[in-house]
Copies of this chain bind each other. A is one copy, B any other.
Amino acid sequence: MRAQLSLRERKKLQAMRRIQEVALELFDEYGYSNVTIERIAAEAEVSPSSVYRYFGTKEYVVLYDEYDPVAVQSLDDEFAAQDPVAALRRVTTDMVEELESREVDLVRRRMRYAMTEPDVRAGMGRQVEQITTEIRGLLAKHTGRDPGDLDVRVLAAALVSVFMTAIEYWHDTDYREPLHTVLDRALDVIDGITLDRPRG
């Protein structure tokens, strides 16, 4: 699955994981804004320069997720087979199922900061925007339309927006309901949206 990484790449990946783990530990103990990059770097035994090289910003130390690109790829695959809403449902369910419990824990820890800390939340906003653009591209590709089309834009934005709303609700209700159920209910509200029948 991921063996063709060079030593360099493996070291980098390991370092990133270690830095993220150390950072979360420190954040949990002292609070996000009371921990400096310098401190994280010291604790992770790398230079501050490296933290910036790897993550770019402090928020991204929390937000970085090595599986993000995989998710987008899956979405691309599923868009080919079914309508966008069903595809999103499918990919989400699959991803959740594949996570090991240790990973689930990490995700929730990170999510807490994404929901709570304004800076981290803003950073997530940027990521969401970027992913929305990618989804616009995918939708355009699979429907033969232009990515700049208003309809394509609206559909992409709506999908992402509903997804994020589900995530936030899930978090706010302490993960009581499984994510896929929440997402199902959320998607029901906008059900019926497609690009094939532009007018109601």
Q: A residues bordering B, Cβ < 8 Å?
A: 118, 121-123, 125-126, 129, 148, 150-151, 153-155, 157-158, 160-162, 164-166, 168-169, 172, 182, 185-186, 188-193, 198-200
Inter-chain contacts of A158 with B (CB < 8 A): 158, 161-162, 189-190
**By the criterion CB–CB under 8 Å, are A190 and B190 in contact?**
yes
Question: Looking at A118, A164, A186, which has the most chain B CB atoms within 10 Å of its CB?
Answer: A186
**By the criterion CB–CB under 8 Å, are B191 and A150 in contact?**
no
Query: Nearest chain-B residue to A164 (Cβ)?
Result: B157
In the complex, the 6 A-B pairs of residues with the closest C-beta atoms, listed nearest first: A161-B161, A125-B125, A154-B189, A157-B165, A191-B200, A122-B122
**By the criterion CB–CB under 8 Å, are A189 and B155 in contact?**
yes
Query: Nearest chain-B residue to A122 (Cβ)?
Result: B122
**By the criterion CB–CB under 8 Å, are B182 and A189 in contact?**
no
Q: Is the interface of A mostly helix, strand, loop or mixed?
A: helix
Partner of A161 from B118, B125, B157 at Cβ < 8 Å: B157
Inter-chain contacts of A153 with B (CB < 8 A): 165, 168-169, 186
Inter-chain contacts of A166 with B (CB < 8 A): 150, 154
CB distance from A159 to the nearest CB of B (A): 9
Q: How far is the CA of A160 from the CA of B161 in the complex (A)?
A: 9
Inter-chain contacts of A157 with B (CB < 8 A): 161-162, 164-165
Q: How far is the CA of A190 from the CA of B118 in the complex (A)?
A: 30
**By the criterion CB–CB under 8 Å, are A150 and B182 in contact?**
yes
Inter-chain contacts of A188 with B (CB < 8 A): 198-200
Q: Given A150-B165, A153-B168, A192-B200, output 20 extra A-B contacts at Cβ < 8 Å.
A: A118-B126, A121-B126, A122-B122, A122-B126, A125-B129, A150-B189, A154-B165, A154-B166, A154-B186, A154-B189, A154-B190, A155-B189, A158-B190, A160-B161, A188-B198, A188-B199, A190-B190, A190-B193, A191-B199, A192-B192
